[in-house]
């Protein structure tokens, strides 16, 4: 099969790019790896700054339709033990963010992008011949080949295409997230349903998902003393015992599953090349503390679609992403430096990155 563009992955970045290419009449195929692993809801929140971006590509209505609720701010306990209230009231033009129902949103986006998705088991080979990529993959146990002049890596932190292209990743820290779903609890001091609190071995995030459910994540590091115990929920009461609010959200659910994931800041050594580019987390992976992962997936998809339509080289795309990542690292460093109470602990030492 021959196609103008092949997008590998089926997350937010991939589907927004597919949607935009469809609008431009560009012929694409989306390669979607079958894993059998059930999607795990993270209760992602979009900040108010993401809404004009969505409006600019005609997707604000769809995101609003698939949002669980509007969010008007969040609370934090970071750098000291005073509760901070970060209100979105002064943001412009939107004074609210969105807590998205990502699973249904992606399903709706997929419907809108049409039926150009090829489910496959794994990528076997990527070769370049006479200016075209030959992508060899296995589908239902059978070897197939796709031919395209343009391939987009949208495989998140897996960077599956980049691995086949031998492009290494640069990691700026080793942050890992451990997440579980718990019965919803509220705290009378917290009016927003997103809350962040730092502690000696890392930081935690509570985010309301459904009416009856909270998502709680602990962010830590392989060298932190809690690393070996954090993947069992039964240890969370001990791990969070010195926190002021986080411990309050631990309900007595029997044994919720804890899902571990990479959550570090990283980028590949190259973001574009001859006939390929990278979008979303695969291009720039941010610390979830900044809440910009989904905005980044949408923004890079928008920029990538424009670059593909223009058929120019990808210098502008490359430069703007490098600039964004540099600015992000500076602001991340600034936020982590505000927490001075545990400077000599493994997790906090690990956050001191060279920009």
Ligand X SMILES: Cc1cc2nc3c(=O)[nH]c(=O)nc-3n(C[C@H](O)[C@H](O)[C@H](O)COP(=O)(O)OP(=O)(O)OC[C@H]3O[C@@H](n4cnc5c(N)ncnc54)[C@H](O)[C@@H]3O)c2cc1C
Question: Should residue 144 be labelled a site residue for ligand X when binding is judged by CB under 6 A?
Answer: no
Question: Should residue 202 be labelled a site residue for ligand X when binding is judged by CB under 6 A?
Answer: no
219 strand-pairing partners: 177, 203
Query: In the stretch 247-286, what mask flags binding to ligand X with x, by CB under 6 A?
Result: --------------x-x----------------xx-----
**Residue keyed to tokens 């992962």:** 293
CB 152 within 8 A of CB 303: no
Nearer to ligand X, 287 or 318 (CB): 287
Question: Should residue 231 be labelled a site residue for ligand X when binding is judged by CB under 6 A?
Answer: no
Residue of 17, 154, 196, 258 that binds ligand X (CB under 6 A):
154
Query: In the stretch 67-106, what mask flags binding to ligand X with x, by CB under 6 A?
Result: ----------------------------------------
- Distance, first Cα to last Cα, the chain: 43
- Total residues binding ligand X (CB under 6 A): 31
Question: Should residue 113 be labelled a site residue for ligand X when binding is judged by CB under 6 A?
Answer: no
Distance, CA of 326 to CA of 328 (rounded, Å): 5
b/e for 106-115, b at 16 or more Cβ within 10 A? bebbbeebee
Q: How far is the CB of 235 from ligand X (least distance, A)?
A: 18
- Residue 134 to residues 146, 151, 235, Cα–Cα distance (Å): 6, 10, 49
Question: Should residue 174 be labelled a site residue for ligand X when binding is judged by CB under 6 A?
Answer: no
Distance, CA of 110 to CA of 280 (rounded, Å): 17
- The closest of 309, 263, 301 to 280, measured between CA atoms, is 301
Question: Should residue 158 be labelled a site residue for ligand X when binding is judged by CB under 6 A?
Answer: yes
Question: Should residue 208 be labelled a site residue for ligand X when binding is judged by CB under 6 A?
Answer: no
Question: Should residue 149 be labelled a site residue for ligand X when binding is judged by CB under 6 A?
Answer: no
- The closest of 121, 161, 128 to 144, measured between CA atoms, is 121
Q: Which stretch binds ligand X (CB under 6 A): 11-19, 69-77, 81-89, 167-175?
A: 11-19
Contacting ligand X within 37-56 (CB under 6 A): 42, 44-46
Question: Should residue 155 be labelled a site residue for ligand X when binding is judged by CB under 6 A?
Answer: yes
Q: Which stretch binds ligand X (CB under 6 A): 8-16, 84-92, 243-251, 331-339?
A: 8-16
Question: Should residue 13 be labelled a site residue for ligand X when binding is judged by CB under 6 A?
Answer: yes
CB 257 within 8 A of CB 247: no
Residue 154: which residues within 8 A CB-CB, separation 6 or more?
7, 8, 9, 10, 11, 13, 14, 17, 278, 279, 280, 282, 301
CB 187 within 8 A of CB 75: no
**Residue keyed to tokens 């460093």:** 333
Question: Should residue 11 be labelled a site residue for ligand X when binding is judged by CB under 6 A?
Answer: yes
Residue of 67, 113, 175, 291 that binds ligand X (CB under 6 A):
291
Q: Which stretch binds ligand X (CB under 6 A): 84-92, 124-132, 226-234, 292-300?
A: 292-300
Question: Should residue 177 be labelled a site residue for ligand X when binding is judged by CB under 6 A?
Answer: yes
Residue of 29, 218, 226, 297 that binds ligand X (CB under 6 A):
297
- The closest of 108, 97, 93, 117 to 7, measured between CA atoms, is 117
Residue of 48, 156, 174, 202 that binds ligand X (CB under 6 A):
156
Residue of 66, 181, 221, 292 that binds ligand X (CB under 6 A):
292
Q: Which long-range contacts (CB under 8 A, 24 or more apart) does 300-303 make?
A: 300/13, 301/12, 301/13, 301/14, 301/16, 301/17, 301/20, 301/154, 302/16, 302/20, 302/53, 302/56, 302/57
Q: Which stretch binds ligand X (CB under 6 A): 75-83, 223-231, 289-297, 343-351?
A: 289-297
Question: Should residue 293 be labelled a site residue for ligand X when binding is judged by CB under 6 A?
Answer: yes
Q: Which residues bind ligand X (CB under 6 A)?
A: 8-14, 33, 42, 44-46, 154-156, 158, 160, 177, 179, 217, 261, 263, 280-281, 288, 291-295, 297
């Amino acid at each position: 099969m021959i196609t103008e563009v092949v997008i590998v992955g089926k997350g937010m970045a991939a589907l927004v790019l597919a949607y935009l290419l469809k609008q431009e009449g560009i012929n694409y195929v989306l390669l979607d790896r079958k894993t059998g692993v059930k999607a795990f809801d993270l209760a992602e929140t979009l900040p108010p700054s993401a809404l004009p971006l969505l409006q600019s590509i005609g997707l604000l209505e769809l995101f609003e339709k698939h949002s669980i609720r509007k969010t008007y701010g969040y609370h934090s306990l970071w750098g000291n033990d005073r509760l901070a209230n970060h209100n979105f009231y002064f943001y412009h033009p939107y004074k609210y963010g969105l807590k998205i129902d990502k699973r249904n949103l992606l399903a709706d986006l997929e419907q809108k992008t049409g039926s150009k998705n090829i489910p496959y088991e794994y990528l076997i080979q990527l070769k370049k011949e006479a200016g075209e990529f030959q992508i060899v993959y296995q589908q239902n146990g059978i070897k197939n080949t796709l031919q395209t002049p343009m391939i987009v890596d949208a495989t998140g932190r897996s960077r599956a295409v980049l691995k086949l292209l031998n492009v290494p990743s640069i990691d700026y820290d080793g942050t890992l997230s451990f997440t579980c779903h718990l019965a919803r609890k509220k705290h009378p001091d917290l009016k927003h349903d997103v809350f962040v609190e730092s502690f000696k071995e890392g930081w935690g995030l509570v985010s309301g998902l459904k009416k009856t459910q909270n998502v709680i994540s602990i962010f830590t590091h392989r060298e932190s003393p809690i690393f070996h115990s954090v993947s069992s929920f039964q240890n969370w009461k001990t791990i969070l015992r010195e926190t002021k609010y986080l411990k309050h959200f631990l309900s007595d659910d029997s044994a919720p599953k804890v899902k571990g994931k990479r959550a570090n800041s990283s980028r590949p050594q190259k973001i574009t090349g001859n006939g390929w580019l990278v979008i979303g987390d695969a291009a720039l992976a941010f610390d979830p503390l900044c809440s910009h992962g989904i905005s980044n997936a949408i923004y890079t998809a928008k920029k990538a679609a424009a670059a593909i339509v223009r058929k120019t080289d990808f210098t502008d795309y490359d430069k703007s992403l490098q600039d964004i990542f540099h600015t992000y690292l500076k602001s991340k460093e600034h936020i982590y430096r505000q927490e001075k109470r545990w400077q000599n602990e493994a997790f906090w030492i690990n956050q001191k990155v060279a920009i």
